């Protein structure tokens, strides 16, 4: 009898006997199934802005430095080339980057996330991209690829769970994926 581990070895992925997006992508490739392109959906940007800020360009989260339409934290905004002011009580440290700049930086950041997700065999859609925005691409791929019965909070770690207790504390991967589906209207896998 052929096992999943046998198939995984045959298609050149880690033979851990667990089904996941990397295994699925490798099997699809071996069978010659054309994978969808990794283009970021045009409807992702307005969805992200609505979820993150309710379309308010200069809103700041009360619990962190997250600012603007896409709720960039200071370190990520600066890593994407943005400027940050000195008044930490205000969005963007008191600066007011135009909406166009916020979108441009969201696009470059999201393109990097999409490349990481794609390399890990995760399909690119609103759900997987939002998970990457929420956790970072590496952690999003890890959670999306985990068994639905595993604890999402234990995978994500205490810092992420403390920042998002109603979403993560005591929740399984399946519950997180369902929450994500409710936010984005798509499934991450």
For residue 144, is it within any domain?
A: no
Give pLDDT tens digits for 127-140.
999 999 999 999 99
For residue 23, is it within any domain?
A: yes
Q: What is the pTM of this model?
A: 0.78
For residue 78, is it within any domain?
A: yes
State the Cα–Cα distance between residues 135 and 168, nearest whole angstrom.
11
For residue 167, is it within any domain?
A: no
CB of 135 closer than 8 Å to CB of 160: yes
Same domain? For 57 and 30 the reply is no
For residue 28, is it within any domain?
A: yes
CB of 4 closer than 8 Å to CB of 20: no
- Give residue 55's domain range: 44-104
For residue 85, is it within any domain?
A: yes
Give pLDDT tens digits for 99-127.
999 999 999 999 999 999 999 999 999 99
Q: Which residue has the tokens 């308010």?
A: 56
Same domain? For 30 and 60 the reply is no
- Domains of the chain: total: 2
Same domain? For 59 and 99 the reply is yes
Which of 60, 83, 104 is the endpoint of a domain?
104
Of the candidates 106, 110, 124, the residue with the CA atom closest to the CA atom of residue 188: 124
For residue 147, is it within any domain?
A: no
Same domain? For 52 and 96 the reply is yes
């Amino acid at each position: 009898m052929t096992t999943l581990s046998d198939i995984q070895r045959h298609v050149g992925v880690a033979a851990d006997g667990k089904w996941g997006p990397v295994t699925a992508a490798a099997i699809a490739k071996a069978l010659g199934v054309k994978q969808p392109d990794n283009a970021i959906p045009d409807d992702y940007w307005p969805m992200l802005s609505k979820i993150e800020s309710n379309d308010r360009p200069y809103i700041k989260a009360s619990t962190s430095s997250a600012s603007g339409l896409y709720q960039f934290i200071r370190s990520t905004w600066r890593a994407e080339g943005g400027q940050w002011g000195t008044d930490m009580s205000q969005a963007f440290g008191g600066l007011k980057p135009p909406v166009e700049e916020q979108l441009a930086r969201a696009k470059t950041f999201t393109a990097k996330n999409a490349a990481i997700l794609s390399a890990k065999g995760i399909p690119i859609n609103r759900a997987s991209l939002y998970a990457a925005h929420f956790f970072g691409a590496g952690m999003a791929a890890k959670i999306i690829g985990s068994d639905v019965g595993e604890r999402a909070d234990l995978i994500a770690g205490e810092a992420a769970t403390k920042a998002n207790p109603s979403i993560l504390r005591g929740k399984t991967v399946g519950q997180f994926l369902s929450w994500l589906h409710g936010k984005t209207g798509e499934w991450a896998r």
